[in-house]
Amino acid sequence: MMIIIRKATKADAQACWDIRNAAINKGCAGFYDAGDLIIWTEGELTEQFSRIVDAHFYVAEQSNNVPPLKRVIGMVMLDEPYAQVEALFVSPDAMGLGVGKSLLQFIETKAFNLGIAQLRLESTLNAVGFYRHCGFGGEGLEEDSIYCSPRGIALECMVMYKNLGRPLAC
């Protein structure tokens, strides 16, 4: 499988919305209340989400040669003013294949090239191990927090940091 990371467009918004919801429902099950997951993922794609995807997201696209087919399988966003990684989601059928690591390495390199010295993220509880494996957290670089969703739910999360030197592989 070949993965290409590219700037997202508004045409990618529906795929990003669907991947977000599927990843939350698969990855967060057992870590959060089922009712909260329903609230977190309910509803249709919004114009606001589409605008954010178009302006700030990058997508991982799977490319198969036979037949020529491209499919969005993950996404990520760098909130530059806050030096924060946002919305790193991978399609459940592509989880464990290195897509998340590729997206994270891409954003780390982008941040480093922008002169950002430290990245921050708010990890769902199910993804803490993944981010630790990729160098986030560590001594004094994690803190428990609560993510307050615009949909009115409060979810435990872990705020994690990574100091950027020359980006290293996860």
- Which pLDDT does position 66 carry in this prediction? 60
**Domain with 38 in it:** 2-116
H or E element at residue 148:
strand 142-148
**What is the distance between the alpha carbons of residues 140 and 40, in angstroms, rounded to a whole number?**
30
- Percent of the chain, pLDDT > 70? 88
Amino acid at 118: Q
Give the per-residue pLDDT at 166: 61
Q: Is residue 54 a part of any domain in this protein? A: yes
pLDDT digits (tens, 9 = 90+) for 69-92: 689 999 999 999 999 999 999 999
Does some domain include residue 146? no
- Here the CATH number for the domain that contains residue 9 is 3.40.630.30
Place of tokens 């872990």: 158
Taking a C-beta distance cutoff of 8 angstroms, is the pair 8, 75 a contact?
yes
Domain membership of residue 78 (yes or no) is yes
Query: CA-CA distance, 31 to 52, in Å (whole number)?
Result: 27
The rounded mean pLDDT for the chain is 89
- The tokens for 42 are 């309910």
Does some domain include residue 83? yes
The model's pTM is: 0.88
Using the Cα atoms of residue 152, residue 74, residue 27 and residue 143 in order, give the sign of their dihedral: negative
State how many domains the chain has. Answer: 1
- State the DSSP H helix or E strand holding residue 20, giving kind and residue range, or none if neither: helix 13-27
What's the rounded mean pLDDT across residues 16-42? Answer: 94
Q: What dihedral angle (degrees, nearest 10) is formed by the CA atoms of 49, 50, 54, 60?
A: 80
pLDDT recorded at residue 169:
55
Name the CA dihedral angle for 22, 158, 153, 94, rounded to a multiple of 10 degrees: 0
Q: Is residue 14 part of a domain?
A: yes
| Residue 74 maps to a domain | yes
- Asked if the structure places residue 134 within a domain, the reply is no
- Predicted confidence at residue 70, as pLDDT, reads 82
In a domain, 122, yes or no: no
Structure-model confidence comparison of residues 146 and 56, the more confident one? 56
Average pLDDT over residues 117-126: 94
